Amino acid sequence: MTPNKEKLLVALLTSRTKKEAAAAAGISDRTMRSYFEDKEFCQRYREAFAGVVQDATRRAQQLLEPALSTLQTVMEDEEIPAQARITAAKSIIDYSLKLTEQADILEQLRELERWKEELNGNR
């Protein structure tokens, strides 16, 4: 890949818009659009973006326990206004339900993958 394409990849991951990314990379919007017609460039962009998403997901997972602890502290502190305690309790319930649902879906996917492997192994 060319140095300009590499610059654009970095800029795409750190800029708010594609237009800002093109300017940061020192290329025109038209040139940027032509880069997106290149399969290799698109693949590298998807891989780089997936890495950013994975990093953000790990960070969010690391912050989950302290966030839930903070909500629990607010929920249990009787000196805090009732509305804030109710909001904290609702947030804990919502997050718990979402996490449980996602864990269940992941387990179902794992079971389907095991089932698929067993089927393919029997052929």
pTM above 0.85, yes or no: no
Q: What is the structure's pLDDT at 7?
A: 95
- The answer to whether 72 and 88 have CB atoms below 8 angstroms apart is yes
Q: State mean pLDDT over 22-28.
A: 96
pLDDT for residue 1 is more than 90 = no
Q: Is the pLDDT of residue 120 over 90?
A: no
Calculate mean pLDDT across residues 88-96: 89
In this predicted model, what pLDDT tens digit does every residue of 45-66 receive, in sequence order? 999 999 998 898 888 888 888 9
Q: Burial code of 87-100, b = ≥16 C-beta within 10 A, e = fewer?
A: ebeebbeeeeeeee
CA distances from 58 to 6, 30, 62, 67 (A): 25, 35, 6, 14
**123 has a pLDDT exceeding 70:** no
The set of residues, in sequence order, having a beta carbon less than 8 Å from that of 15 and lying 6+ positions away, is 21, 24
- pLDDT band at 30, cuts 50/70/90? very high
